[in-house]
Structure formats: structure tokens, C-alpha cells
Copies of this chain bind each other. A is one copy, B any other.
């Protein structure tokens, strides 16, 4: 796994280089005696398309240009240059930060943002210009999710460089925060990844030794997976070549948690490396509710409306998605992952999971 190791470090260098190139380019324009300008793909809705090749949303051909010549552009132009400077500082000093920190930090530089959305938007501009995610610039979200299983990682964060941790070391799960996200993969005995929506089920899987019985890494998404977790799943799939199956509640919101891991979101159309197109949604399907006679709740009006929306979403073109969305609308029922407890606490591990993983391998 030598290749993995250098890939992570390589990426870090690329980020610093990209930020420096961004600044250099501005200097070069000024040296030529022209007003500096920045060109980047437009993120307006008309310019967001679903790419069936990449199996994620992408930005189209349209571009916007911000010029220091244009008085209306000077404010966002300056803010963007400051954001690039600040990101470079973070990367150089290897400090992490949050979107909220960025907003307040600006004041230390007399850089004014009128509110949080304005500074968030500038960070998204920086992502668009550079092609890197804000997590690459060490701007991390509050939310944390977790992982458990036989993967040994090697830290790259200051104070921990070269230290290794096996991810079975804490049975409550190892938090996926800045340190884990930036770690390198040293060794794994696992041959698959199982992503799980709910904390209770994650704990059950650890207790029932799913990681050993099924040779799996268990990822807790804790609801909608944070971007750092989606990127981590992407890396597990791509760098370690592990197939990924996703288990969520059996309702449109669970479907969409799986879909965002698989195909990403329109908001992140300007980024790559967050989606895992080969990952599969393994359940709870509408057809599972019928087949396993699960305790269920009736769909609400909001659930139904959401299902109609999903049916029209280009990411939901595939056969399975259309079939299950239709089935939900037909049976008008939804069920949670915990509903399997109706057959005893270990039924989901003893019966349901093996059946689903077998189906996955055949698919």
C-alpha cells in the first residue's frame, strides 16, 4: 500500500501549490499592468448537470469572471484572495478550523463579511477555483461520524506523524474527524465496507462482531453523512478497492442518505472525490418491509411528496431506485432499521445482513 501513502502526502502538497499558483497568477497579471481577474465555473442552477459518466453532478461550461476593475467585484474579489491566504496559512501551519472560525477570523485581518452565509459562499468560491474541498484546506464541519474495523491508519497530523492506530482499538467506534480524515491507510484485513445510518445499529454490529464475521469495516454515518465521511468512504472504495454497501432506514430520507454517499449532492457539483458511484444501497428497501413483514409506520404527506421528487431526480434513474420508490408509494409504509428487533436483537445480523450481502455480491 505504498501508493496510498504517497497519494495522501501528494495531495497536501498539491493543495499548497494550487493556493500559491492562485496568488502567483494574480501577481503576474498585475506585473503586466492589467487589473487582476479570476475566472471560475458558474455554480448557478442552470450550470449544474448530472453526468451519467461520472455518476455525479458536475458544473457545465458557463464561467464567471471577477475583476478588480469592476467596482462591484472588488468586495468578493478581495474576500476570495483573503480566503486563499487564510487557507494557505492553515495548511502551512497545519491548523484546523471551522466555517464559523473563518467568519470570525476575518475580523482579525480587518476583512469584513456581513454575515456567515457571505463567508461560507466565499469558501465555496475557493473550492470552485481550486477544485479542492474545504476539508482539504483544514476547514472542518462540527459533525462527526465513526468507523470500526480492521484497518490500521497512520496519522499525518502534527504530534502524531507516523503513529499508527488500528480501528478496532475502541469498540464505541473511532471518530472521523480531521486527524482520521487526513490519515494514511497502512494495512487492512477487511474486504468490504458497511455504512450504517443509526448509532444504535452500529453498536449492535460491533457487539455482534459483524466486522469479524463479515470481514467488514463498519462506518456510522449518523444520519446524513458529513462531507469528510463521504470523502473517507470514497477513499476506502478507491484506494483500498473495497466494495461499499449502505444500510439506512426504509424511507425516502434513508434512500437519500445512501444516494448522497453514492452520487453526491448538487451543492458539491464543483468538487470530485466525495461520491462513491460503485457503492450500493442494500436496505431497508420497501420490498424488505413486505418480505420481512416489518413493523412499519404509514408514510406521511411529506414522505410521499419527497418520493415523487426523488422519482424525477436524475440520480434516481436506476432500476432499483425506481422500483423501490414505486413500492414505497404503493405500500404507503416506512420502517426503521431497528424494526428488525421485532424478531430479536440479533436477527438483523444473523439473517438479514447475510442475505443482503449475498445479494450484493451477485449483483
Residues of A participating in the B interface, judged by any CB pair closer than 8 Å: 95-98, 100-101, 103-105, 107-108, 140-144, 146, 155, 157-160, 165, 169-180, 198-200, 203-204, 207, 209, 222, 295, 336, 338-345
Contact = CB atoms under 8 A, between A and B. Distances in A.
Given A169-B170, A173-B175, 15 more contacts: A96-B203, A97-B345, A100-B338, A101-B345, A104-B341, A105-B341, A105-B342, A107-B295, A108-B343, A142-B200, A146-B175, A157-B207, A165-B170, A170-B179, A172-B175
B100 A143 contact: no
A95 to B, nearest CB: 6
Given A295-B104, A339-B104, A341-B101, A209 B159 contact: yes
Given A95-B207, A140-B200, A341-B108, A175 B174 contact: yes
A29 to B, nearest CB: 31
A199 B140 CA distance: 10
A207 B96 CA distance: 8
A101 B159 contact: no
The 6 closest A-B pairs by CB, nearest first: A172-B177, A98-B200, A104-B341, A171-B179, A142-B199, A172-B175
Contact of A179 (B140, B172, B339, B344): B172
Contact of A170 (B180, B340, B344): B180
Contacts of A209: 159
A172 B143 CA distance: 12
B100 A142 contact: no
A360 to B, nearest CB: 25
A144 B142 contact: no
Contact of A171 (B107, B159, B336): B159
Contacts of A171: 155, 157, 159-160, 177, 179
A32 B176 CA distance: 58
Contacts of A158: 207
A119 to B, nearest CB: 12
B203 A178 contact: yes
17 contacts: A100-B338, A101-B345, A103-B338, A104-B338, A104-B339, A105-B341, A105-B344, A107-B342, A142-B200, A142-B222, A146-B175, A165-B169, A170-B174, A172-B175, A172-B176, A172-B180, A178-B203
Contact of A199 (B143, B172, B204): B143
Given A140-B200, A142-B198, A200-B98, A344 B157 contact: no
- Most chain B CB within 10 A, of A108, A155, A340, A345, is at A345
A116 to B, nearest CB: 10
Contact of A96 (B103, B105, B204, B295): B204
Contacts of A105: 341-342, 344-345
A100 to B, nearest CB: 4
A257 to B, nearest CB: 14
Contacts of A108: 341-344
A295 B111 CA distance: 13
A63 B164 CA distance: 56
Nearest to A101: B341
A230 B221 CA distance: 24
A342 B104 contact: yes
A144 B172 contact: yes
A183 to B, nearest CB: 10
